Homo-oligomer: A and B are copies of this chain.
Amino acid sequence: MNTLFKALNDPTRRAMLELLRQGPRTAGEIAEHFSFSKPTISHHLDLLRQADLVSSDKQGQYVTYTLNMTVMDELLGWLLQFKSDT
């Protein structure tokens, strides 16, 4: 839960998730959408992966990142706990 909120607590990473919503992308393709250096992008992607928000798959020299929704459900559950009994 900690790593999840940590991963979400950055506008760039949230934008990455919204980009990946359109479908899997390689690290390079993701990097093109932002004006940060490749290592910075790589670092952000790493944090997203740590939170299990994305999965990565290496094919040749390319690494493709894919959105992983299952962990979002955990967040959804946490959130709904507040809505439950008002």
Contacts and interface: CB of A to CB of B under 8 A. Distances in A.
Nearest to A80: B76
Interface string A10-23: 01001001100100
Q: Interface residues of A toward B: which range?
A: 20 to 34
Interface in A34-55: none
B82 A79 contact: no
Contact of A5 (B9, B18, B81): B9
Contacts of A79: 72, 75-76, 79
14 contacts: A1-B14, A5-B9, A5-B14, A6-B9, A8-B8, A67-B82, A69-B83, A69-B86, A72-B79, A72-B83, A75-B79, A76-B76, A76-B83, A79-B79
